[in-house]
A and B are shown apart, each in its own frame.
Chain A
């Protein structure tokens, strides 16, 4: 083992510019455990050299057999190790025969796993599970005594709803899977685990409902995640960027959510949910443009309100993209469209402005974006100060100084509000970026430029697919049956079919004809 390490190090030092994947692997994975405890110990010490948080504890089982316990300080529950592993083994009176039997009878821990290679050992230790190695045995044991400080389940910050569950995913994978499992109790919910990242060894879980999700989709997601070969994944954004279909698109091709209810809803629609250790944000594949514009709350409120809110969102989605460019186009090229009275007041407010509308719009939009970005990064203590300054910059003072006209301020404000209406933050980012070329086009060619920009965006959106699903479906290509959940939010008793993603398996999600009504025939109640 040690010589493997040295060889690897030497190769690295000899300095090829493109080290092969194997060179970068921290250790040889399949090296088996030896029966000699001292050899195991020295290998472990070389693996964990300079790791002050790794504890390698010698002790004697029943005062005779030498044994080692390896764990990471702070990741394992030391109280329980003392109580249920060390105490019973050290205080055992009988001579141990087989370690298996020993562990069976003495160690009172529910989760136990036998290991034969160093790779497995390292994995278990890294997870926080203490590993027991006994002299003369080639099999080691890991005990499920991991415990580390973690955040509790809290209300999701980025996706708040008024009516709906208040719990959100956390940074711990097992908590997240349990949150889903608690909502979806059928054993058809499958959760597969893959490790990603050469150094981070992050656990990534792929959840789907067997019988609803297309097997091909699950396979494709699994394949794409397995293909990832990077040193580390720190957030689900890493995975998203490595598995999406069109890397140069500004539009997100996977949904992100930190709400277990949204994730469960997606699972029931036949989508695949990708959960990851270390971030509360899970990914949902495939995604469509319209799924970005839906909020879980649409289904929790009455269907008419859900429909209304959806339409409002579609309208403001367009607004967020085009409002400043419409303003620039009309003011620069098509003044006749503005009713005379309004035109006069706009002209009056623009009288002192030194810039053309195009420059004005750019100025204001850039300032607004800067304020927004600053607002996110602000330490809480200075937040108030910046919001006051921001309000002045964008609002009253700028107008009074004659730098921007008040209609422009209004347009920027409406655009800002509109972009906050999109329930998925990532979709809003795409619009924020696209707004600038749109303003430029509108400033050059008026409404024609604006339309050309819109056409280009639509062309792009109809080109891209997310895991085989056209991004604009079910509108284009049109699938009449799925419109009920896009153009409206049909009442739940009418949402009989699942959306068609890539296949048609398990189409019906509920029994038909469940429209509720007053009981009939029971007149004198």
Chain B
């Protein structure tokens, strides 16, 4: 066993929440609005269905192979060589995905707060911090998440509450002007975020209360969905259908905050709090990446590869896209298919094959 730490299902939910929401919160309203218009708040509901599917898939697979992660049981399900290919795909996917997340993080900070700082410094410092957390193992990540998520939520609610006087609910009408299709279209890019719930396939083996995993996984999906709906509403009520002209609508929204001429320009505060969420997200991705790499290569200890992989992530985050515009275009068009084809389709296929082989065939599944 590479990881000796244990977390509870409750902690897993705390880990997953910022893992999905951290980057979603800054850019998803724009992407959803570009397809769904004023119905963007419906899109997270459709998208969350995929999240639930991923949680159920991961949970079912884990139930058949309790102490194994996706990389380990794929060996048992589809054989060694295909499993190594799947493992490589996942390794590459997570590395690439983490590159995207780091880049988004860097671009967001450079664009809005630190225009003169080289992006490599911003990303590099974050990778360093995450590397220390990842070395600490899943327990450390979970504890950090447990501390940071309430702080993040508190400030988000506070900032949005200060926006209340500016909100105009009439922007949401007419509801379903273009039928359900528009909001369904809007949900497609959002599913790119919800499919990340497959991360729990790597966390479930470390749970102390595995039977609670499904419950808390689904709670986490709901929490993410509700948060997305809430920020969609705030963005919609504030900007109307103009949302899609802002790169970072939530950030822009905070510029409207003004309380007693004293509390104003709280963007920097939002950024500071958001960094906590981004840290958890990047660290979880990083952790899963390290876990995949060490399980794929059958390493006995994951710690020695933490820093090398971090060093790999740094240039990867620069290479993933030439600039912010191309990256945004990628995320509102083809990213969904790319991410879902690996993180979504492969686990579901594995589950189907496992069912066919072990449930309808001989009962051999309860190893490990």
Contacts and interface: CB of A to CB of B under 8 A. Distances in A.
B136 A462 contact: yes
Interface string A287-303: 00000000000000000
A145 interface: no
Interface in A475-498: 475-478
B92 interface: no
Interface in B263-290: 264-266, 268-269, 271-272, 275-276, 279
B142 interface: yes
A478 B10 contact: yes
23 contacts: A333-B114, A334-B113, A334-B268, A337-B265, A337-B268, A339-B262, A339-B264, A446-B114, A447-B268, A447-B269, A447-B271, A448-B114, A455-B279, A456-B132, A458-B144, A462-B136, A462-B140, A475-B146, A476-B143, A477-B11, A477-B142, A477-B143, A478-B146
A364 to B, nearest CB: 23
B268 A476 contact: no
Given A339-B264, A462-B147, 11 more contacts: A334-B113, A449-B125, A452-B129, A455-B133, A455-B148, A455-B279, A462-B140, A472-B143, A475-B147, A477-B139, A478-B11
A460 B276 CA distance: 15
B282 to A, nearest CB: 11
A445 interface: yes
A455 B276 contact: yes
A459 B265 contact: no
A330 B113 CA distance: 12
Given A339-B262, A451-B275, A477-B142, A459 B117 contact: no
Given A462-B144, A477-B146, A448 B261 contact: no
Contact of B113 (A446, A462, A463, A476): A446
A450 interface: yes
B113 A448 contact: yes
Interface string B6-17: 011011000000
The 8 tightest CB contacts between A and B, nearest first, are A476-B143, A462-B143, A476-B146, A334-B268, A451-B275, A336-B265, A463-B136, A459-B133
Contact of A459 (B122, B140, B269): B140
A168 interface: no
Contacts of A330: 268
B126 interface: yes
B132 A450 contact: no
Contacts of B147: 458, 462, 472, 475-476
Contacts of A459: 129, 132-133, 136, 140, 144
Interface residues of A, number: 27
Nearest to B121: A445
Contacts of A337: 265-266, 268-269
Q: Pick the most buried of B113, B139, B147, B271: most chain A CB atoms within 10 A of its CB.
A: B147
Nearest to B275: A451
Contacts of B133: 455, 459
A459 B109 CA distance: 22
B251 to A, nearest CB: 13
Contact of A445 (B125, B139, B140, B143): B125
A460 B144 CA distance: 10
Contacts of B113: 333-334, 446-448
A458 B8 CA distance: 19
A512 B247 CA distance: 56
Interface of B: 7-8, 10-11, 109, 113-114, 117, 121-122, 125-126, 129, 132-133, 136, 139-140, 142-144, 146-148, 261-262, 264-266, 268-269, 271-272, 275-276, 279
B128 to A, nearest CB: 8
A333 B121 CA distance: 16
Contacts of B268: 330, 333-334, 336-337, 446-447
B8 A477 contact: yes
Nearest to A326: B272
Nearest to A454: B276
A451 B109 CA distance: 13
Contacts of A450: 272
A476 B14 CA distance: 11
Interface string A436-475: 0000000001111111100110111011000000101001
Contacts of B7: 477
B39 to A, nearest CB: 35
Given A458-B144, A477-B8, A445 B114 contact: yes
A460 B10 CA distance: 22
A195 B317 CA distance: 58
A514 B164 CA distance: 44
B143 A470 contact: yes
A336 B265 CA distance: 6
Contacts of B139: 462, 470, 477
Contacts of A449: 125
B141 to A, nearest CB: 8
B267 to A, nearest CB: 8
A336 B268 CA distance: 9
A448 B272 contact: yes
B114 A463 contact: no
Given A339-B261, A462-B139, A462-B144, A445 B279 contact: no
A470 B7 CA distance: 13
A512 B109 CA distance: 53
Nearest to A330: B268
B147 to A, nearest CB: 5
Contacts of B125: 445, 448-449, 452
A458 B272 contact: no
Nearest to B6: A477
Contact of B144 (A333, A447, A476, A478): A476
A456 B126 CA distance: 10
Nearest to B264: A339
B51 to A, nearest CB: 24
Given A462-B139, A470-B143, A476-B146, A448 B109 contact: yes
A459 B10 CA distance: 19
Nearest to A334: B268
Nearest to B268: A334
Contacts of A448: 109, 113-114, 122, 125, 271-272, 275
